[in-house]
Amino acid sequence: MEQFLKTYSEAATATLGLFWMAFWAFALGYLISSMIQVFVTRERMKQSMGDAGGKSVALGTFFGFISSSCSFAALSTTRSLFTKGAGLVPSLAFLLASTNLVIELGIIIGVFLSWQFVVGEYLGGLLLILFMWSIVKLTLPKKFEEQAREHARKEEGHDDNKDVPGWKKLIRSKEGWGNVANRYVMEWKMVWKDVTIGFTVAGIIAAFVPQSFFQSLFVGSGSGDPAFWQVLVQTIVGPLAAFFTFIGSMGNIPLAAVLFGNGVAFAGIMAFIFSDLVVFPVLRIQAKYYGWKMAFYIMGVFLSVLVATALLMHYGFAAFDLLPDSSSAKNVTDREFFKIDYTLFLNALFVVVSLGFLGWALKKQGALNMSSEKTSEKILFWLSMMAYFWLAGGLICTLFI
């Protein structure tokens, strides 16, 4: 019993410590993202994206890069772009970019992993889009795309076009920065459940799950030079693990760090990180928007391109002897999280910024409305509440050990 309580305490401490390491990175990323989303609006995106030509795909990628990393918000925006006339390929390019190329995700990966994973995320994100473009162009009938668009238009049911002031006027106005504050709070509202569950799961796995489990699940993990078939299996297991955890891209990163510390290959980690769009809640939402046939088609395309990209990135880095060494990764439970360093001062700064924006957003009303009719969101809410009770219990154990 004493050993269990000690491990329980380590799990809770690891969860809080991982979030302590990441808070300033989340806040900085969401501040940048909120500013861009207010000053470069969705209406301007719609006006710029047409059919599936190179310019439209490039614009879809760029607009995704400067947009939110929340998968569910990205799905909604993608549908809106698609129903307003953007081609399927530029729309999917936007979706992939908005969940794999965003600024805040790169910052979080840099905090928890290494520069190779940051490069892999951004370069791999571009490869995902190029591979997706090629596959869709070769395999998707035009009639299939139009049927999906018609289904999405019926589902959307309204047109939200409106006049928007120019960005120069917005950036100089109190209203513009009030919208940034509101958007910043909304960003946290969209991801707090994913982040809570993701960090809690990462702490539990780091403390309770032995390395032998990862070696059995991710075949060849811990091996200095896994065979090709072992790397391939890991790139398939990564998406399967993500499918059953159904944690968003930001919540997945601390868990990816745990996997890396247990010897999972670079390809397996990248496949796991890339898999936030092949989880069940996303499949269900895509089916609601476009119908089940298109939803399974998109999922199949995404799964194919992420496996191919992860393998290509792995062996590309290996060719230049740049693969990160998992043996040098610290065990999460052995880290010293809370100390006086740059993390403390950055966290203090962004706590002040966050509280200021929260107060501003409350004046605008509606930013903290936590109600949701989606079953998946209600499930995540109660799982988050359970996570908080778990963490409180772990901290209580810390006081007596």
Sequence spans of domains, the chain: 2-156+174-400
Quote the pLDDT of residue 305.
96
Encode pLDDT of 62-88 as tens digits: 888 877 656 666 777 787 778 777 788
Number of neighbouring beta carbons within 10 Å of residue 164: 15
- Given this model, what pLDDT does residue 248 score? 60
Whether the pLDDT of residue 12 is over 60: the answer is yes
Compute the radius of gyration of the chain from its Cα atoms.
Answer: 21
Average of per-residue pLDDT across 361-373: 62
218 phi and psi, to 5 degrees? -100, 95
Angle between helices 2-39 and 342-364 (to 10 degrees): 60
pLDDT tens digits for range 266-324: 999 999 999 888 877 778 778 888 888 999 999 999 999 999 999 999 999 999 999 98
Cα dihedral 43/45/51/52 (nearest 10): -150
Answer whether residue 37 shows pLDDT above 80. Answer: no
Token pair for 327:
């043996």
Write down how long the chain is. 401
Q: What is the pLDDT of residue 27?
A: 83
pLDDT for res 335:
66
Q: To the nearest 10°, the Cα dihedral for 272, 275, 281, 282?
A: 170
Whether the Cβ atoms of residue 129 and residue 273 lie closer than 8 Å to each other: no
Contact 195, 21 (CB under 8 A): no
State the average pLDDT over residues 143-157. 78
Among 155-164, 303-312, 347-356, the minimum mean pLDDT is found in 155-164
Q: Quote the CA–CA distance of 204 and 247 in Å, as a whole number.
A: 15
Average pLDDT for the chain: 81
Distance CA 345, CA 362 (A): 26
Structure tokens that stand for 84 in this block: 């307003």
Percent of the chain with pLDDT over 70: 83
Please state the φ and ψ torsions of residue 231, each to the nearest 5 degrees.
Answer: -65, -40
Which pLDDT band, with edges at 50, 70 and 90, does 45 fall under?
low
Whether the predicted pLDDT of 118 surpasses 70: yes
What is the spatial distance between Cα 269 and Cα 267, in angstroms, rounded to a whole number? 5
Residue type, position 381, single letter: F
Query: CA 328, 332, 333, 334 torsion: positive or negative?
Result: positive
Nearest to 306 by CA among 80, 180, 140, 132: 132
Assess whether pLDDT exceeds 60 at residue 42: no
| Residue labelled with tokens 């994206």 | 49
Q: Provide mean pLDDT across the span 48-52.
A: 62
